Amino acid sequence: MTIDQNYRRLTLVTAALIYTLIVVGAVVRVTESGLGCPDWPLCHGGLVPPPEQTAVIEFAHRLVAGVAGLFIILTAFVAWRDYRRARWIVGPATLVIALVPVQYVLGAVVVATELQPLAVVIHLGTALFIFGGALVLAVAARRPAAPERWPSRAATWLCSASRLSGCSSC
C-alpha cells in the first residue's frame, strides 16, 4: 500500500508541531512561567491572558498544544479513514491520539499541584512518548511498501523512547 504524499506531509507537520510544543514547554519551564496561568483551562479566569509576560508565555504553550492537538486528531482521522488496513500507520496514530487526553489532564495536574516535580516529569515524559509516536508514524508513512513484519509494538516504543532519552542501543 502506497501512502499519499499529502498524508506524509501531514505526519511531518504534526511531528514538527509536537516538537515545537515541547520547545515552548521548555521555555515555560526556563522562564518560570508555569504558573503564569494559575487556573486551567482558563487563564486568570478568562479566555485571554492578562498582559503579563509569564501569563503570555504559559498561554502560548496552551495555544500551541491546542493546534498540535487538532493536527493529531486530523492525522489519526485520516489514518483510520484511508489506511485502516495499514497497521503500521493506524497503530502509531491511534497510540498518539490516545495519549493526548492523558497529556491534557497531566497539564492540568501540573498547574493544580503548582509545578510539583513528579507531575512535571510525567508530563514531559508523556510528551516525549507522543513525539516518539509521531516520529514513528512519519517514518512509517514514508516506507515504500507495507512492511512484511513490523517489529513488536513494545520494541518499537521502547526503542523510540530510548532514542529520545539519548540512548543509542536500538
Query: What does the CA dihedral 25, 116, 95, 144 come to, rounded to 10 degrees?
Result: 40
List 52, 58, 114, 148, catalytic entry: 58
Q: Active-site residue 148, yes or no?
A: no
Give the residue from 85, 88, 96 showing the smallest Cα distance to 139: 88
Other CB atoms within a 10 A radius of the CB of residue 41 amount to: 12
**Orientation angle between helical segments 117-140 and 53-82, nearest 10 degrees:** 40
Exposure string over 130-157, b if 16+ CB within 10 A, otherwise e: bbbbbbbbbebbeeeeeeeeeeeeeebb
Dihedral, CA of residue 12, residue 17, residue 23 and residue 28, to nearest 10: -170
Q: Which residues are catalytic?
A: 58
